[in-house]
Amino acid sequence: MQDRTPDAVRDLLAVVLDALTLPYDTPDYSRRILDRAAEARTVAVAALAENPADIGWNVDYLRSKLAAEQADAERRDNGRCRRCLRPFDADDTRFDGHARHADTPWCRSCVDNCHDGGAEHVCMICNPARYGGGAQ
């Protein structure tokens, strides 16, 4: 008699949950969550179709896919302005240059552009919720 969810199933649910969880302010949130959902779906389908004893394999497989996806995303985001996607240039410290603006994910040029914006201005720096980073 099994009166509790088997560990293998709990592991599977946990990794699927991981796949479907990203902080809302993650750059590329919408696209990444779709990619990750597709991976999770593939693995869930396989886990249902296969011998329950093989669930552990599916869990490991999905974990490795998620780690690879995360590493790719970090490589992509690293050293780039999140708004204009240009690589930061640490030497370009003009007020509108392409050095990183303090600890922000933005370059100085984009921040300058945002601060100079008129009353109508809105961008992902001053209003991230409008740009796909917000709650669904």
Give the interface segment with Zn ion, choosing from 20-28, 44-52, 88-96, 111-119 (CB under 5 A). 111-119
CB of 2 to Zn ion, least distance (A): 55
Q: Does 111 bind Zn ion (CB under 5 A)?
A: no
Stretch that binds Zn ion, among 8-16, 31-39, 49-57, 108-116 (CB under 5 A): 108-116
Decide whether 52 or 79 has the Cβ nearer to Zn ion.
79
Cβ-contact 39, 66 below 8 angstroms: yes
The one among 126, 129, 130, 134 contacting Zn ion by CB under 5 A? 126
Nearer to Zn ion by C-beta: 47 or 107? 107
* Cα distances (Å, whole numbers) of residue 38 to 35, 47, 59, 85, 136: 5, 14, 15, 26, 18
| Closer residue to Zn ion, CB minimum distance, 13 or 84 | 84
What is the rounded distance in angstroms from the CA atom of residue 29 to the CA atom of residue 111?
21
Q: Which is nearer to Zn ion, 65 or 98 (CB)?
A: 98
Cα first-last separation, the chain: 41
Query: By the 8 A CB rule, do 115 and 104 touch?
Result: no
